[in-house]
Structure 1
Amino acid sequence: MLPADPSVRGSADRPEGTTVVAFDSATRQRRAVGGPRRASLYVCGITPYDATHLGHAATYVTYDLLVRAWRDAGLAVTYAQNVTDVDDPLLERARATGVDWRELAAGQTDLFRADMEALRVIAPDHYLGAVETVPDVVRAVERLLADGAAYRVGPGEDGQGDGDVYADLAADPRFGLEPMGDARDDAGRVAEFAAMGGDPDRAGKRSPLDPLLWRVARPDDPSWPGGDLGAGRPGWHVECATIAAMTLGAPVDVQGGGRDLRFPHHEMSTSHLRMISGDARPVTAQVHAGLLAFDGEKMSKSRGNLVLVSRLRERGIEPMAIRLVLLAHRYSDSWEFHEVELDDAAARLAAWCAAVAGAERAEASEATHAVVTRIRAALADDLDAPTALAELDAWAASAPGEGGALVRDAVDALLGVAL
């Protein structure tokens, strides 16, 4: 990934007081995000048991656009992201392939970061793994227990799990007031919870939706010292809440990730952050990216219908063309990838490069400055990258013969595309 704080070129004519607007999944309304001087962003990272696919890339390019729009608006941005480097899917893949889970996690994390760097995604300021933050999670869970916001559950039907710790969602008076999943009734939310790895039927829980905070050690399962909690490992939602609290504090301006994380993950991690921080609204806006399909189904590791960024790069596909494929779609839309889009993006990239090269030395006219202004406005308006791309297509097609340097620098800084 690119350095966390690159210089933003092409911004000398940046208007003061630009406001970035995004769609908030919690309130289902557009709202200003970030500012007036600072902005904070937490984005859920990968579980590193397989290589980066285009769906991942679309998500992280989305929040890269947000970081760039904020910085272009003059805000000091702090961006945090986790990597869930111990979790059931990772452990299952390691056992199935005979690879040590730590080796698998490290290798896939390195590949992910290489893919992001190739796509010119600016690195988070804080990039933390679940394993390295276990002591912090332990302290958070111990506090929730002491505050009466968590409780222990005895052995499950398999006789294991004596002392697992669960969040008591009833202790959070705001949980469920702004439901973010597709379901609105209790039965639907329980079904969603189960489909996303929850355990609504676990005996001894106070409520079916109460999520796991600390899983006590099982045989042949990695574990870490947990103080009074006993040896074990963190639950998923509290991992993100703890890292957000450590790195950003509350409130966090934007929590981001794919649309499939709205519930239970983001709704529950927000609840945990509320209870940890004491802030009634610990996340100002929930901004979610749409999902990517391939061969008629959502692109996912479980289905195996993956288009891997690393494989596209191995084929010689220009990373900037891959990025342009992603930018051609509204971040909040779900869409299906087709191979022809790579050809279209390569043609678009070539046209832009030719237009910039043919006008690099000539000073920009008012008309070209106006193009850059409209690109800025599009990105500030709910990250409308397709409109920004259309503006550049029109500029390139008009053979302006001037303003190439301004356009090149603006495209670099705002869209993350190197021409």
Structure 2
Amino acid sequence: MKTWPAPTVPTIEPSGVLPTFHSTLTGRREQFAPRVEGVATLYVCGITPYDSTHMGHAMTYHSADLMRRILLDAGLDVRFAENVTDVDDPLFERAQRDDIDWRELADREVAKFVGDMEALRIIPPHHFESVSEAVDAIADAANQLLERGMLYPVANEDGSSDWYQEYALTGGTGLVEQMDREEALAIFAERGGDPQREGKKDPLDPLVWQAHRPGEPSFDSRALGPGRPGWHVECLCIAERGLGMPIDLEIGGNDLVFPHHEMGHVHALGLGLDTFATLWAHVGMVAYQGEKMSKSLGNLVFISRLTADGVDPAAIRLALLAHHYRTDWEWSDDQLREAEQRLRAYREASQQRPTDAAVVEDLRRALRDDLDTPRALEVLDRWADGMGGSAAATPGAGSIRIADAVDALLGVRL
């Protein structure tokens, strides 16, 4: 799948210092430690392309982009992969509703997404692949799970079978054991699971391969019959194809903690890996009009609509940067106006005070501390107000233009 053109990112002397990120699994901040020296592997769960990119999507991909940028500043070779979930129930339901072929709908919405990512100056992934492109590899993984004794069939009325992985054979990250059982079942049902399905050994067992249903695409899985893959195994296979497994960091919205990321890890264990990722990082939800921004509710603020109305994408990034990536927050027009004021102030300051080594170091320190973007903006606010930074500069930082540092580290062009 074709990505978007890469933005021109200024080359600045790397700090060489590894950042810390909050680990969802341990609940602690941990210094990033790549499995292979000098190389970082990152995967972000991509869109299901049945509607345009909204502010909640933007927050996730913007946050992943910031993680990538601060790892680049640490001097690492960052390898990045992202999927497109073009084989999934919401896409098929929308295609049927709108009387359009599912592939045409996916292509249309992916094109919009690519345009939004280019406008926001998100660095494109090295590996950008849809489920439909990777389905043969996903089928291979499903067959390997079968051969390893991890799967069992649940019969359908037409005589076909859906295939589930037995969670109890591997366990997971320990997350499920920490959750209240009823809460886990409720969340599983809300987020794409089928705990009520008769014939499952455990209501939380994840679907690996679903038999063909009328009106849906069908792919050959060999031993499992014609059908399509389950959601969680799709990400595992695309991450493996793009990066190898295990990876260093998996990123997604905090609504993916369970079951999606948990069950992706379960599939990895089922295939004999020791983990899916070393570290999981999760991005907060964006609300609008009092509720989480979501396609199902329709309370969406679209990136494309803002840019069509003349909003500078740099101001959109600054509006996102005002919130720590792990926090839930609510979008408002006032925040956009504040971001536009910030952008004007920063651009004026970049002309009047183009260099300040301490400001660059303060900016880096804020971002290395679990992407503390509100603190990073405070650093830039002080600079724009005519005050310098407080940190002792690292060697070479004095020659870095602040505008170049802001562009390289925050993706905001001044």
Q: Normalising to structure 2: TM-score of the pair?
A: 0.93
1:192 is aligned to: 187
SS of residue in 2 equivalent to 1:71:
helix
Paired AA for residue 103 in structure 1? E
Q: Is the 8 A contact 2:5 2:118 kept in 1?
A: no
Q: Check 1:257–1:21 CA distance in 2 against 1; reply closer, same or farther (3 A cut).
A: same
In the other structure, the counterpart of 1:166 is 164
**Which residue of 1 is the match for residue 39 of structure 2?**
38
Q: What's 1:245 paired with?
A: 240
Q: Please list every run of 5 or more consecutive structure 1 residues that lacks an aligned counterpart in the other structure.
A: none
The aligned residue for residue 273 of structure 2 is: 279
1:323: how far off?
0.7
What is the DSSP-based 3-state SS (H/G/I as helix, E as strand, rest coil) of the residue aligned with 2:296? coil
**Structure 2: runs of 5 or more not aligned:** 389-397
Q: What SS is found at the alignment partner of 2:132?
A: coil
Query: Which letter maps to 1:88?
Result: D
- 1:389 has 2:388 as partner: no
How far does the alpha carbon of each residue in 1:339-370 deviate from its partner, in whole angstroms, 9 at most, with x for none?
A: 1111110110011111112345xxx3xxx101
Query: Is it true that 1:175 corresponds to 2:135 in the alignment?
Result: no
Q: 1:357 to 1:48 in 2, by over 3 A?
A: same
1:350-389 to 2 correspondences below 5 Å: 350-360=344-354, 364=355, 368-389=356-377
What is the alpha-carbon distance in structure 2 between the residues aligned to residue 399 and residue 262 of structure 1? Answer: 41
Q: Secondary structure at the match of 1:279?
A: coil
Q: Summarize the alignment of residues 13-412 of structure 1 with structure 2, pairs less than 5 Å apart.
A: 14-16=14-16, 18-35=17-34, 36-155=37-156, 159-160=157-158, 162-172=160-170, 174-179=171-176, 184-276=179-271, 278-360=272-354, 364=355, 368-398=356-386, 406-412=401-407
3-state secondary structure, aligned to 2:104 = helix
**What do residues 175-199 of structure 1 show as CA deviations (whole Å, max 9, x unaligned)?**
251349xx71222211111111211
How far apart are the structure 2 equivalents of 1:146 and 1:405?
A: 56
Following the alignment from structure 1 to structure 2, what is the Cα–Cα distance between the partners of residues 404 and 2? 31
In the alignment, the residues of structure 1 paired with residue 8 and residue 308 of structure 2 have an alpha-carbon distance, to the nearest angstrom, of: 27
Supply the distance in 1 between the matched residues of 2:264 and 2:322 (Cα, whole angstroms).
31
Letter in 2 for 1:28: G
Report how far residue 386 of structure 1 moved.
1.1
Structure 1: which 4+ aligned runs deviate by more than 3 Å?
A: 1-8
Maintained 8 Å contact 1:81/1:128: yes
| Contact 2:220–2:226, Cα closer than 8 Å, also in 1 | yes
Q: Could you tell me how far apart the structure 1 residues matched to 2:10 and 2:241 are?
A: 27
Normalised by the length of structure 1, the TM-score is 0.92
In 2, Cα distance between equivalents of 1:415 and 1:393: 14
SS of match in other structure, 1:153: strand
Conserved in 2, the CA contact under 8 Å of 1:378 and 1:384? yes
Q: How many residues align?
A: 401
Using a 3 Å threshold, how does the CA distance of structure 1 residues 33 and 100 change in structure 2: closer, same or farther? same
CA shift for structure 1 position 279: 2.6
> Retained in 1: the 8 A contact 2:154–2:200?
yes
What CA RMSD, in Å, does the superposition of the two structures yield over aligned residues? 1.8
> 1-side partners of 2:98 and 2:221: how far apart?
29
User: How big is the shift at 1:105?
Assistant: 0.4
Write the distance in 2 (CA, Å) between the matches of 1:56 and 1:210. Answer: 28
Deviations 1:263-313 (A, max 9, x none): 00000011112222x232331111000000000000000000000001111
Q: Give the whole-Å Cα distance in 2 for the aligned partners of 1:109 and 1:7.
A: 24
Relative to structure 1, the CA distance from residue 153 to residue 307 in structure 2 (aligned partners, 3 Å threshold; closer, same or farther) is: same
Indicate conservation of the 8 Å contact 2:54/2:303, yes or no: yes
- Give the corresponding residue for 2:395: none
Q: Secondary structure at the match of 1:96?
A: helix
Mark the CA change 1:100 to 1:138 in structure 2 (over 3 Å): closer, same or farther: same
Structure 1 counterpart SS, 2:281: strand
